[in-house]
Protein backbone atom coordinates (compact mmCIF):
# COMPACT_ATOMS: atom_id res chain seq x y z
CA UNK A 1 0.00 0.00 0.00
CA UNK A 2 1.29 3.46 -0.82
CA UNK A 3 -0.01 6.70 0.64
CA UNK A 4 0.62 9.82 -1.41
CA UNK A 5 0.28 12.82 0.91
CA UNK A 6 0.04 16.44 -0.21
CA UNK A 7 0.67 19.16 2.36
CA UNK A 8 -0.15 22.70 1.26
CA UNK A 9 -0.05 26.11 2.94
CA UNK A 10 -3.51 27.24 4.07
CA UNK A 11 -5.07 29.88 1.81
CA UNK A 12 -4.71 32.55 4.52
CA UNK A 13 -0.98 31.87 4.97
CA UNK A 14 1.40 34.03 2.96
CA UNK A 15 3.46 31.83 0.61
CA UNK A 16 6.48 33.87 -0.53
CA UNK A 17 7.90 30.88 -2.42
CA UNK A 18 4.72 30.56 -4.46
CA UNK A 19 4.67 34.31 -5.16
CA UNK A 20 8.26 34.25 -6.35
CA UNK A 21 7.63 31.29 -8.65
CA UNK A 22 4.50 33.00 -9.99
CA UNK A 23 6.61 36.04 -10.89
CA UNK A 24 9.18 33.75 -12.50
CA UNK A 25 6.52 32.08 -14.63
CA UNK A 26 5.11 35.47 -15.63
CA UNK A 27 8.56 36.64 -16.71
CA UNK A 28 8.85 33.51 -18.89
CA UNK A 29 5.62 34.48 -20.62
CA UNK A 30 3.15 32.25 -18.78
CA UNK A 31 0.74 35.13 -18.30
CA UNK A 32 -2.26 32.88 -17.70
CA UNK A 33 -0.88 31.96 -14.24
CA UNK A 34 -2.97 33.65 -11.56
CA UNK A 35 -1.62 31.97 -8.44
CA UNK A 36 1.07 29.50 -7.34
CA UNK A 37 1.16 27.74 -3.96
CA UNK A 38 4.05 25.51 -2.97
CA UNK A 39 3.66 22.60 -0.60
CA UNK A 40 5.16 19.17 0.06
CA UNK A 41 4.64 15.73 -1.44
CA UNK A 42 5.24 12.78 0.89
CA UNK A 43 5.16 9.13 -0.19
CA UNK A 44 4.62 6.53 2.52
CA UNK A 45 4.83 2.77 2.09
CA UNK A 46 2.68 0.74 4.47
CA UNK A 47 2.31 -2.97 5.01
CA UNK A 48 -0.09 -5.32 6.71
CA UNK A 49 -3.14 -3.07 6.68
CA UNK A 50 -6.41 -2.91 4.85
CA UNK A 51 -7.11 0.18 2.80
CA UNK A 52 -9.59 1.36 5.42
CA UNK A 53 -7.04 0.99 8.24
CA UNK A 54 -4.34 2.63 6.17
CA UNK A 55 -6.60 5.61 5.57
CA UNK A 56 -7.16 6.07 9.31
CA UNK A 57 -3.47 5.63 10.13
CA UNK A 58 -2.30 8.10 7.49
CA UNK A 59 -4.90 10.62 8.66
CA UNK A 60 -3.38 10.31 12.17
CA UNK A 61 0.16 10.68 10.78
CA UNK A 62 -0.87 13.89 9.07
CA UNK A 63 -2.50 15.26 12.20
CA UNK A 64 0.34 14.33 14.56
CA UNK A 65 3.37 15.13 12.44
CA UNK A 66 3.20 15.53 8.67
CA UNK A 67 1.17 18.76 8.65
CA UNK A 68 1.03 21.67 11.07
CA UNK A 69 -2.66 22.51 11.33
CA UNK A 70 -1.89 26.16 12.13
CA UNK A 71 -0.42 26.81 8.70
CA UNK A 72 -1.05 23.77 6.52
CA UNK A 73 -3.82 21.64 4.98
CA UNK A 74 -3.31 18.05 3.89
CA UNK A 75 -4.92 15.50 1.63
CA UNK A 76 -3.86 12.04 0.52
CA UNK A 77 -4.58 9.08 -1.71
CA UNK A 78 -4.06 5.43 -0.85
CA UNK A 79 -2.95 3.19 -3.68
CA UNK A 80 -2.40 -0.53 -3.82
CA UNK A 81 1.14 -1.31 -4.97
CA UNK A 82 1.52 -2.91 -8.37
CA UNK A 83 2.19 -6.62 -8.03
CA UNK A 84 5.88 -7.38 -7.68
CA UNK A 85 7.74 -10.52 -8.59
Partner 1 sequence: MKFGVVVFPGTWSDRDCGWVIDQVLGQDLVYLWHKDTDLKGCDCVILPGGFAYGDYLRTGAIARFAPVMEQVGEFADRGGLVWGICNGFQVLCEAGLLPGALIRNASLEFRCEWTHLLVERTDLPFTSSCAERDVLRVPIAHGEGSYFADPATLSRLEQRGQVVLRYSDANGRVIPSANPNGSLHNIAGIVNARGNVLGMMPHPERCSEAELGGTDGLKLFRSVAESGLKVLVS
Q: Does 65 bind partner 1 (CB under 8 A)?
A: yes
Backbone angles phi, psi at 80, to 5 degrees: -75, 140
State which of residues 11, 14, 80, 84 lies at the interface with partner 1 (CB under 8 A).
14
Selection from 14, 12, 32, 33 nearest residue 22 by Cα: 33
Determine the interface stretch with partner 1 among 16-24, 25-33, 51-59, 73-81 (rule: CB under 8 A).
Answer: 16-24
Contacting positions for partner 1 (CB under 8 A): 9, 12-14, 16-17, 20, 65-66, 68, 70-71
Amino acid sequence: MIARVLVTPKPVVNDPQGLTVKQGLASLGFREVTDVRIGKYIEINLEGTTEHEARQRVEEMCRQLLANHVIEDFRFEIEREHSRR
